[in-house]
Amino acid sequence: MTNEQLIEIVRHFRIEGSVAAVEPLGKGLINDTFLVRTQEADKPDYVLQRINHHIFTDVELLQHNIEAVTNHLHHKLQTAGIADVDRRVLRFIPTSTGKTYYVCSPDNEEASANLLSENSEKNKHDCSYWRMNIYIADTLTLEEITPKSSYDCGRAFGHFQKQLIDLKEPLGETIPNFHNMELRISQLRQTIANDVAGRVKEVSKELELIEAHADEMCLAEKLHRQGLLPKRICHCDTKVNNMLFDRNGNVLCIIDLDTVMPAYIISDYGDFLRTAANSQPEDSPELDSIAFRWDIFEAFTRGYLESTASFLTPIEREHLPLAVALFPMMQAVRFLTDYLNGDTYYKIQYPEHNLIRTRNQLRYFQEVEACRERMSTFICNL
């Protein structure tokens, strides 16, 4: 997309100031993100995002969830008398029609609004979907963390869940069954049967490891069916880089709210440690350097349990170590499924990228497995 086209999109939003520049921002694997700088020093800059509507097929629901959550958090912060509310929760900008997203059709803008209401598959693919929020200045994202920031992240994600416990507005699943391991495994098995990219023969070792643990990794679904594990509102993408820090390294704001939806609370705990406690990035090919960082685990767990002690049930608490193993395994299944499908979901930088990611997650899973009992003991003794 050209700069002029991006600026044209921005014109549909009620921003303050005039656009000076638009630049790419961030490292997300799903949406395309840009920083929109304004000319005036006293006006904010903005984040512009093209929503990947092949993945988030119901953009109306997606934005409904995000608005409900950000309004709720905003209200809570204000009621608590917090001074810098706008630095602690994202604020989305309405378009000229009052929605928080804009639909752009390549050839006919007016028609695209009508097409949206018809909501047909074909028409949706002809359009692109955009949203904007205020850029929170003087913030950092971290790709790697220390025990201190891990503790803070534990407190912050736990607090986020706690704040949303009394959200009255029902939220939908923006990707149905997003963290459902039974479904992920069955998608993988179906993909193996189809073998569209002819890659199944390369991955027998990986498949063997996944199958050996498949049953146990589906325990959360079984507990849910037995009425023992509820769904609550979770973030569902608690990566280290989905959190903004201030210049002094304090947690400010949780970002990337597309996947905020009802899920098992243990998801957010396990998914955070999937990236944070892996001593290597999720796509590092240096398998022998992958280790489970106990210091990060310990600090995160302390922070998380401080924030969530008042509402976690004993069953949720007991299954936290399972989630630490489940999330690298689920992510391995997802990366491998995409590899076998010919790389249609995650952005890749080279042909084996998803295979390298898979191997990384599986090795990390094994490192986690070796520590699981120790984790349980640690949590029991807290």
Residues that bind ligand GN1 (CB under 6 A): 28-30, 55, 237, 256, 259, 282, 331
Does 256 bind Mg ion (CB under 5 A)? Our answer is yes
Q: Which stretch binds Mg ion (CB under 5 A): 77-85, 97-105, 123-131, 253-261?
A: 253-261
For residue 247, the minimal CB distance to Mg ion (Å) is 21
What is the Cβ-side half-sphere exposure of residue 253, based on CA atoms within 13 angstroms? 25
Q: Specify the DSSP class assigned to residue 56.
A: S
- The structure tokens 């998803």 sit at 354
Residue 268 binds which entry of ligand GN1, Mg ion, none, CB below 5-8 Å type-dependent:
none
Judged by DSSP in three states, 326 sits in: helix
Name which of 38 and 278 has its Cβ closer to ligand GN1. 278
Question: Is 316 one of the binding residues for Mg ion (CB under 5 A)?
Answer: no
Determine phi and psi for 58, rounding to 5 degrees. Answer: -110, 85
Residue 279 falls in which region: left (phi positive, over 0), alpha (psi -120 to 50) or beta: alpha
Beta carbon of residue 345, minimum distance to ligand GN1 (angstroms, whole number)? 7
Closest distance of CB 92 from Mg ion, Å: 16
CA-nearest of 18, 159, 36, 27 to 89 is 159
The one-letter code for the residue type at 166 is D
> Which entry of ligand GN1, Mg ion, none binds 331, CB below 5 to 8 A by partner kind?
ligand GN1
378 alpha-carbon distance from chain centroid: 27
CB nearer ligand GN1, residue 57 or residue 105: 57
Q: Is 28 in the site for Mg ion (CB under 5 A)?
A: yes
CB 310 within 8 A of CB 332: no
Q: Which is nearer to ligand GN1, 237 or 268 (CB)?
A: 237
Instruction: List 382's β-bridge partners, or say none.
Output: none
Whichever of 152 and 268 has its CB closer to ligand GN1, that residue is 268
Q: Of 26-34, 44-52, 61-69, 221-229, which part binds Mg ion (CB under 5 A)?
A: 26-34
Closer of 29 and 309 to ligand GN1 (Cβ): 29
Which residue matches tokens 């917090």? 82
Q: Strand pairing partners for 262?
A: 233
Of residues 29 and 111, the one with the C-beta less far from ligand GN1? 29
**331 CB-side CA count, 13 A:** 29
Contact predicate 100/65, CB 8 Å: no
Does residue 154 bind Mg ion (CB under 5 A)? no
Site for Mg ion, residues 199 to 228, rule: CB under 5 A? none
Judged by CB, which is closer to Mg ion: 152, or 256?
256
Distance CA 187, CA 232 (A): 24
Pairing of strands 128-134, 139-140: unpaired
Contact by Cβ (8 Å): 165, 311? yes
Least separation in angstroms between residue 237's CB and Mg ion is 6
Quick one: 220 exposed, middle or buried, by C-beta within 10 A (0-12, 13-18, 19+)? buried
Give CA angle at 207 (201, 210), nearest 5°: 170
What is the nearest approach in angstroms of ligand GN1 to the Cβ of residue 281?
Answer: 10
Q: How many positions of this chain bind Mg ion (CB under 5 A)? A: 3
Give the residue carrying structure tokens 């597309």: 258
The residue at minimum Cβ distance from Mg ion is 256
Q: How far is the CB of 49 from ligand GN1 (least distance, A)?
A: 11
**Nearest-approach distance from CB 241 to ligand GN1, in angstroms:** 8
Smallest distance, Å, CB 259 to ligand GN1? 5
Note whether 282 binds Mg ion by CB under 5 A: no
Which of residues 44 and 328 has its CB atom nearest to ligand GN1 in the complex?
328
Q: Which is nearer to Mg ion, 242 or 307 (CB)?
A: 242
Q: Which residues bind Mg ion (CB under 5 A)?
A: 28, 242, 256
